Chains A and B, each alone.
Chain A
């Protein structure tokens, strides 16, 4: 099937949860949450950016986290259709998930969301979202961010 399938293009053209993040990390992050709630008591926030230097794809993810669960997500980015659509698709999965659920996400999770085979040419485009997400969670836990081979497995 075509990498530029209609649902991917739809997410590229109408990205979900894409918000202008404020400059600077973790400040007043505008996130959407399932309950429509603003950052309330016990809610912490983290923002993290990753770029794919080889082509200039860039993504910044912001997460609101309460009791180790994601309560809201927002992102900003630029780049090719695949990187942006994958981020949009993944962002729809996050609210309500525990950080452990995110730990368990693998590259296959993203491939399934995309629903099309991603060849070796484009896997870095497709997986930039997961790489950014995994490192956002690491940062939230005050752990060092990691390289691709550790976050998404090569």
Chain B
């Protein structure tokens, strides 16, 4: 039912220089709901996000925005789509040559014809939202990692986007500020009816804010459902992820040793020594 879905992903594969990192991802992101994407580091969450915001081109017929194929967007279609979205990048991605308030003003200046004074007030409102109102004139390099994240969120919110993408909003934040961000996200969904996609590692915060949870593992989709459904899942890997258990992995001492010592080594080979003892 595409009318209830903001974004639909079908059979999405993704490659970096020939290495496949996403395998046949397919799920839907419902309107005006919070979708949380979880998964271990390096499993392809950011990559998936890049597809959804049009930074990494997907094959035609893979990503649909309100039923329209993103692969068939022309320049204008893409520009329209981008006007409707706000993105918080994993690193914050503030423009380092601009002050915090200028950073937040950029989207407003690009997309609107508001007066400078209006823009100033609007940026201030967004900075208040994330608790950075006192840092208007700071340069990004003068902010802490967590503050940069929050300033990035303020910039993502500058245009009151219909769809908000946030890549790990709470990494590098203390628990109290992180909880504040969770509340903010719920608030945005309630008051502005935003469709919000959050990538996070924090299980607790995911359960708190998610209407829908998506669990990924090594580029594959593991499970999609409400937090309750996910928690009652029978899938071994999902459960392990929820219980935060480390995976049992095969121990191969010989190959570990040979990797550590930087030699090629086959079990049972009884060669006499090559030269070069200690490296």
Whether chains A and B associate is no
Residues of chain B at the chain A interface (Cβ within 8 Å): none
Residues of chain A at the chain B interface (Cβ within 8 Å): none
